Structure 1
Amino acid sequence: MRAIREKSLISVTIAAVLAFSASILPVHAQTAADAALNMANMLDGAGGGVSSGELIAALQNAADAGQPMAMWQLGTMYENGEGVARDPVKAFGYFAQIANQHADAAPKGVEADIVARSFVKVGDYYKQGLPDAGIPADANRSHALLLHAASYFGDADAQYRVGLLYMQEEEMGVNPLQSARWFSLAARKGHCPAQAQLGDLLFNGVEGIEAQPVEGLMWLTISHQRCSGTADAGWVDEKLNHAISLSTADEQAEANALAQSIAPQFAGF
């Protein structure tokens, strides 16, 4: 009887957290991935004599019931070895399950970001290959999965990464126009590395894109502000400082004025 009661308490805890996470999404414009993190934090402090193993089992039950947030949380736990032994095969399995079951989910739905990120995760595994899971390296499949996340779901990070692929001959082939297109889509969603890459392309100009120093400086300035304090800040600042060294005082003043006036429009969702 005690075992049954504990399992029931765990199930109630999981159900309550999932319901709470879903209920706060529209109010705070929170992503499902953020809600999954909140769910993990709440479970971590659940207490009540429930062990971590029982909580993991409850997450697995929720995942078996088709809860994408539970699958995502388990996938990231196994990928990073957080609370469980690191297991890339299990991580791949959870991310692949999300992608397979929700490939045609509503692009603007509550859990769309988790589905899109799962496509990116699965694409990463295909890029490197995962022999223990019988997954060979397959660049074409990796690209296709990334493109689905970028185009169907409009995921900003996926769009940025597609832009990078079009800068490498060994990936999608060098195509500055395509790079600029994908960087622009991500930049307008507030993705600061994409803003920097777009600004750099526009400032310098490339084949098919005439140099636009003011607009380029504007994007680099916005990126500098948004990337401050992140791991990308160093190379972003290098690009901005290089552009400043080649620009005129009038161009800098106009770019700064534009950046201050329109930056809030591109602050992300």
Structure 2
Amino acid sequence: MTAFRGISLISVAVSALLALTVTTLPARAQTAADAALEMANTLDGAGGGVSGDALLSALEGAAEAGQPMALWQLGTMYENGEGVAKDPVKAFGYFSQIANQHADTPPRGVEADIVAQSFVKVGEYYRDGLPSAGIPADSERSHTLLLHAATYFGDADAQYRVGLLYLQDDGLGYNPLQSARWLSLAARKGHGPAQAQLGELMFNGIKGIEAQPVEGLMWMTMARDRVAGTADEVWVTEVLNKYLALATPEARAEATELAAQISPQFDGL
């Protein structure tokens, strides 16, 4: 009885914190996804004196009440095996619940990033299929989910992925001009990989867009700085170095100067 009562009180505390965080994000938590992570870190065994089992139970209680941030946190935990056994079926279920129940969340709402990213994640599951959940690969459905996140929510990561799909014959149909359009939308929101891909397209030029080596190098330079310390750093740096070797000294110098001038506008994005 005591244990049940303790977990119930923790659940109430978590639910209250989730509700408070949704309306007033901490200064360093720029998105609802960041806030969900900070909430978990605050209440984990080391930071808040709450055991892992109690935290999981509390999150599950908040998720049953429909709290998007609790659903998101549980989805990422099961997707990555953080504090729980890795379970893509459960992860898919939590992300799907967010997408199904909150598809019309206001695009500028504080939880919009969580909902948009849930559409992206569910789209990834449909792209590859999830046999253990009886879900076959369905590229058309995957594309529909990505496009909703990219258009309705204006999610930069979704826009980047749509841009890549326009560079694949088996994606949305090979269309470099459309790819550049979507990559540009994401790049101007500070999305590093999109900046790198856009820069490569602009350096080489495509049908309908004349080659612009200086601007292309500028985007790739900003991308390199943007992704420093992330999983994308290696390939972005390789792409930049490849085109720096092809560019004239004058183009390299001009691109570096432009990147330094323009990059600050993306700080904090």
Normalising by structure 1, report the TM-score: 0.93
In structure 2, what is the equivalent of residue 108 of structure 1? 108
What are the Cα deviations for residues 4-51 of structure 1, in whole angstroms up to 9, with x where unaligned? 531342123213431453354274461111111111111213655x54
In structure 2, what is the equivalent of residue 265 of structure 1? 265
**In the TM superposition, what are the counterparts of 1:92-171 in structure 2 within 5 Å?**
92-171=92-171
Q: AA paired with 1:58?
A: A
Contact 2:33 2:69 in 1 (8 A): yes
- Offset, 1:220: 1.2
Contact 2:22 2:111 in 1 (8 A): no
Contact 1:191 1:268 in 2 (8 A): no
Measure, in 2, the Cα distance between the counterparts of 1:9 and 1:66: 18
What are the Cα deviations for residues 144-196 of structure 1, in whole angstroms up to 9, with x where unaligned? 10111111111111111111111111111211001101110111111111111
Contact 1:187 1:266 in 2 (8 A): no
Residues 128 and 99 (structure 1), Cα distance of their counterparts in 2 relative to 1, 3 Å cut: same
Residues 229 and 5 (structure 1), Cα distance of their counterparts in 2 relative to 1, 3 Å cut: closer
Q: AA paired with 2:35?
A: A
Residues 233 and 86 (structure 1), Cα distance of their counterparts in 2 relative to 1, 3 Å cut: closer
In structure 2, what is the equivalent of residue 177 of structure 1? 177
In the alignment, structure 1 residue 11 sits paired with structure 2 residue 14: no
Paired positions, count: 268
- Offset, 1:91: 1.0
In structure 2, what is the equivalent of residue 43 of structure 1? 43
Structure 2 residue matching 1:86: 3-state secondary structure: coil
In structure 2, what is the equivalent of residue 216 of structure 1? 216
Residues 4 and 225 (structure 1), Cα distance of their counterparts in 2 relative to 1, 3 Å cut: closer
Measure, in 1, the Cα distance between the counterparts of 2:93 and 2:206: 41
Measure, in 2, the Cα distance between the counterparts of 1:232 and 1:132: 30
Contact 1:162 1:182 in 2 (8 A): yes
- Offset, 1:89: 1.4
Structure 1 residue matching 2:43: 3-state secondary structure: helix
Residues 261 and 4 (structure 1), Cα distance of their counterparts in 2 relative to 1, 3 Å cut: same
Contact 2:25 2:35 in 1 (8 A): yes
In structure 2, what is the equivalent of residue 82 of structure 1? 82
Contact 1:17 1:42 in 2 (8 A): no
- Give 5+ residue unaligned stretches, structure 1: none
In structure 2, what is the equivalent of residue 91 of structure 1? 91
Normalising by structure 2, report the TM-score: 0.93
Name the % identity. Answer: 70
- Offset, 1:85: 2.0
Contact 2:163 2:180 in 1 (8 A): yes
Residues 28 and 227 (structure 1), Cα distance of their counterparts in 2 relative to 1, 3 Å cut: closer
Structure 1 residue matching 2:84: 3-state secondary structure: coil
In structure 2, what is the equivalent of residue 252 of structure 1? 252
Structure 1 residue matching 2:39: 3-state secondary structure: helix
